[in-house]
């Protein structure tokens, strides 16, 4: 039983209470495992609802609470009344109203008891019906990539997967290159890796570079060592943090080579290193990205049992070949380009995952979807998102054309979802949402924009509550780097940038500022890399431009970069004063000389 602050009361003693904090992890686990609706009998039900919805980062879109504790004798009756109404087709709110009416008969002994139950519901969420709670787990991935654990639900890329399995036997470097949304990550993580695991002679590690490539690399390559020692073959096992940090330092500073580290494992099995979203390394200063590349190429060139598989967006290929050693390896080990799916492959993407859950599509619906999606590779995330939304609308194990059109289909489902989440926000939160998203995009080549990772500090501590809400609404993804313990956030997928008109409008309005921020970040990181030497501070026109933005958009510049600009301005002002002082001294000397000459 929950009560104010809130507490959980056990039956052992009236003194025996548990706080929400004490059961927080259990609630989180339940929510992650699919908990959709909770009923709390408590004396401060509304306070509990607030903490579960916002204050405690334990978000549930629908919660039934009591204004005061429902008498023990009546709690089972209320639950029975509610379930009878709810399971027979009434909506959540209608079932609550029906239960209240049936409780009125008890008010002679328990005054006002029918007013105790309250439904707390997020207006941005579609109200739950009973069938929503009993439908099978969603087999589609929305805007997320398929992972190794999703291999049984991954369809449509069998031909390309078999091709990768074959080429990884002979190629030391396999670069899977394709457009954003073409399914590069999914085919490697849910196609290639499970196929190689079945062979039984591979040690496999995978990572994303993010902002800490050497730390992530160290953790990834240590993980198979632990798996080998413990007999575990799947998942990431726990690795000592000190070992990770030391190995990361050794690899970055060249104290150890990656080839030596991998060889030292002493296994007769081959070693596969998968680096997903490899384009992230091109957000670093050149020297850092090249250090990382050199580290990887050492193992490619010097250890015959090592294989490196990367996924790279096609629009970053130009940056990739700017570094000669890496270009030479790409020339030697020709990349594997992934294109759009043909119609039969897309049919499998649509139908086969649903069949795995004994759910089927209405006659003609698959053809209708195929006609909308076309064969453009960038449409795959939009297709997966539409199918994810459609799954929630199934009726008696059937996905229908009517429900598909209601959610907006492939073309509009994501846009409608984003607009629905945004429109439900308070006015102040709408402005904060805009500011958050402007920190999560980065200018690419030409007019293209890509998503970028931002830390909790960069987004702002005062905005993290809203980040949590946006993550629950599946517009962003928040995470925590276990090595650095830094919390991060990013846009759920670049498809959102193209599909959401409001976001594109904000980008257009802020284009000049965002491009300047990218240049500032490069200069700032170069200054940090050179031990904050004065010679790397902004000067001349770049400093003047930064001064203008510092005056106009102070709050949109992170504190560390503000300080960087201010140091440059301080140095400029000191130099000006010295120049003026020098000129003044010179003029005074000339004046004295002139007076002496007259005499």
Pull the structure tokens for residue 69: 């504790």
pTM of the model: 0.70
Cα 586 to Cα 48, 293, 576, 595, distances in angstroms: 75, 54, 15, 14
Q: With the C-alpha atoms ordered 407, 408, 411, 414, is the resulting torsion angle positive or negative?
A: negative
Band (pLDDT 50/70/90 cuts) for residue 13 is very low
Q: Are strands 454-455 and 449-451 parallel, antiparallel or unpaired?
A: unpaired
pLDDT at 91 over 90: no
391 Cβ contact partners less than 8 Å away, ≥ 6 residues apart: 135, 138, 139, 140, 354, 359, 399
What integer is the mean pLDDT of 451-460?
90
Band (pLDDT 50/70/90 cuts) for residue 44 is low
Backbone torsions φ then ψ of 43, nearest 5 degrees: -85, -20
**DSSP 8-state code for residue 516:** H
Higher pLDDT, 232 or 422: 422
Q: Mean pLDDT for the chain?
A: 85
Q: What is the pLDDT of residue 480?
A: 77
What integer is the mean pLDDT of 315-322?
89
Q: What is the C-alpha separation between 371 and 148, in angstroms, rounded?
A: 30
Q: What is the C-alpha separation between 201 and 193, in angstroms, rounded?
A: 12
386 Cβ contact partners less than 8 Å away, ≥ 6 residues apart: 369, 404, 407, 408, 409, 410, 413, 414
Q: What is the pLDDT of residue 14?
A: 42
Q: What is the C-alpha separation between 275 and 326, in angstroms, rounded?
A: 15
**DSSP 8-state code for residue 280:** G
pLDDT at 509 over 70: yes
Ranked by mean pLDDT, which of 60-64, 151-155, 479-483 comes out on top? 151-155
The pLDDT tens digits of the residues spanning 480-504 come to: 776 677 888 999 888 899 889 999 9
Short-list 149, 136, 126, CA closest to 62: 126
Q: What is the pLDDT of residue 596?
A: 53
List, in sequence order, the alpha helices (H) in 374-462: 380-391, 401-407, 409-423, 427-438, 456-459
Q: What is the pLDDT of residue 492?
A: 87
Band (pLDDT 50/70/90 cuts) for residue 189 is very high
pLDDT at 144 over 80: yes
3-state helix, strand, coil in the chain (%, to 5): 60, 10, 30
Of 192-206, 312-326, 434-448, give the lowest mean pLDDT range: 434-448
Report the first-to-last Cα separation within the chain, whole angstroms.
Answer: 103
The pLDDT tens digits of the residues spanning 293-304 come to: 999 999 999 999
Band (pLDDT 50/70/90 cuts) for residue 352 is very high
What integer is the mean pLDDT of 533-537?
91
**DSSP 8-state code for residue 460:** -
Higher pLDDT, 115 or 491: 491
Band (pLDDT 50/70/90 cuts) for residue 225 is low
Q: What is the pLDDT of residue 347?
A: 96
Q: What is the pLDDT of residue 4?
A: 35
Q: What is the pLDDT of residue 211?
A: 84
Band (pLDDT 50/70/90 cuts) for residue 85 is confident
pLDDT at 593 over 60: no
Give the residue carrying structure tokens 């059109």.
Answer: 405
Would residue 474 be called left, alpha or beta, if left means φ above 0 and alpha means ψ between -120 and 50 degrees? Answer: left
Of 190-204, 330-344, 371-385, give the lowest mean pLDDT range: 371-385
Share of the chain above pLDDT 90, in %: 48
What integer is the mean pLDDT of 210-227?
84
Higher pLDDT, 343 or 88: 343
Band (pLDDT 50/70/90 cuts) for residue 32 is low
What integer is the mean pLDDT of 113-121?
83
Q: What is the pLDDT of residue 59?
A: 66
The pLDDT tens digits of the residues spanning 388-398 come to: 999 988 888 89
Higher pLDDT, 250 or 108: 250
Q: What is the C-alpha separation between 390 and 206, in angstroms, rounded?
A: 32
Pull the structure tokens for residue 385: 């998102």
The pLDDT tens digits of the residues spanning 546-575 come to: 999 999 999 888 889 999 999 999 999 998
What integer is the mean pLDDT of 229-239?
53
Band (pLDDT 50/70/90 cuts) for residue 191 is very high
């Amino acid at each position: 039983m929950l009560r104010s602050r809130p507490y959980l009361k056990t039956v052992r003693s009236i003194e025996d209470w548990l706080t929400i904090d004490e059961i927080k992890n259990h609630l989180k686990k339940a929510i992650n495992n699919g908990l959709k609706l909770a009923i709390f009998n408590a004396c401060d039900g509304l306070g509990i609802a607030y903490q579960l919805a916002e204050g405690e980062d334990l978000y549930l879109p629908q919660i039934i609470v009591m204004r005061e504790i429902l008498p023990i004798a009546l709690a089972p009756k209320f639950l029975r009344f509610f379930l009878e109404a709810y399971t027979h087709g009434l909506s959540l709110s209608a079932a609550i109203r029906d239960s209240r009416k049936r409780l009125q008969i008890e008010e002679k002994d328990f005054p006002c008891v029918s007013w105790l139950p309250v439904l707390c519901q997020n207006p941005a969420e579609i109200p739950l019906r009973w069938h929503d709670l009993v439908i099978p787990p969603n087999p589609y991935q929305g805007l997320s990539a398929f992972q190794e654990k999703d291999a049984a639900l991954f369809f449509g890329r069998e031909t390309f997967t078999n091709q990768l399995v074959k080429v990884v036997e002979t190629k030391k470097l396999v670069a899977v290159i394709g457009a954003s949304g073409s399914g590069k990550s999914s085919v490697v993580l849910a196609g290639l890796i499970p196929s190689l695991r079945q062979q039984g002679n591979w040690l496999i590690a995978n990572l994303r570079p993010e902002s800490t490539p050497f730390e992530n690399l160290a953790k990834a390559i240590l993980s198979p060592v632990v798996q080998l020692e413990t007999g575990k073959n799947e998942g990431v096992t726990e690795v000592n943090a000190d070992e990770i940090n030391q190995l990361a330092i050794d690899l970055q500073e060249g104290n150890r080579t990656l080839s030596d580290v991998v060889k030292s494992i002493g296994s007769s099995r081959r070693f596969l290193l998968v680096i997903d979203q490899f384009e992230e390394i091109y957000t670093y200063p050149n020297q850092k990205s090249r250090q990382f590349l050199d580290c990887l190429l050492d193992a490619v060139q010097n250890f015959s049992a090592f294989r490196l598989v990367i996924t790279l967006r096609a629009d970053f290929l130009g940056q990739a070949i700017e570094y000669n050693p890496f270009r030479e390896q790409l020339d030697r080990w020709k990349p594997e380009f992934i294109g759009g799916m043909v119609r039969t492959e897309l049919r499998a993407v649509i139908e086969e995952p649903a069949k795995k859950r004994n759910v089927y599509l209405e006659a003609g619906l698959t053809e209708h979807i195929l006609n909308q999606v076309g064969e453009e590779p960038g449409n795959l995330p939009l297709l997966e998102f539409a199918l994810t939304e459609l799954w929630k609308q199934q009726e008696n194990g059937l996905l229908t054309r009517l429900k598909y059109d209601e959610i907006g289909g492939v073309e509009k489902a994501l846009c409608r979802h984003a607009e629905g989440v945004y429109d439900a926000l308070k006015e102040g939160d709408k402005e904060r949402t805009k500011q958050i998203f402007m920190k999560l995009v980065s200018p690419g080549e030409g007019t293209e924009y890509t998503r970028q990772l931002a830390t909790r500090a960069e987004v702002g501590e005062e905005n993290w509550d809203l980040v949590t809400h946006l993550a629950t609404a599946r517009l962003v993804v928040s995470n925590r780097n276990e090595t650095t313990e830094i919390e991060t956030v990013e846009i759920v997928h670049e498809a959102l940038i193209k599909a959401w008109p409001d976001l594109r409008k904000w980008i257009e309005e802020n284009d000049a500022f965002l491009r300047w921020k990218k240049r500032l970040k490069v200069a700032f990181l170069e200054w940090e890399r050179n031990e904050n030497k004065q010679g790397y501070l902004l000067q001349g026109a770049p400093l003047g431009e930064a001064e203008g933005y510092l005056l106009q958009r102070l709050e949109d510049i992170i504190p560390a970069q503000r300080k960087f600009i201010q140091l440059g301005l301080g140095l400029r002002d000191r130099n000006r004063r010295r120049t003026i002082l020098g000129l003044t001294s010179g003029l005074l000397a000339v004046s004295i000389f002139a007076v002496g000459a007259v005499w």
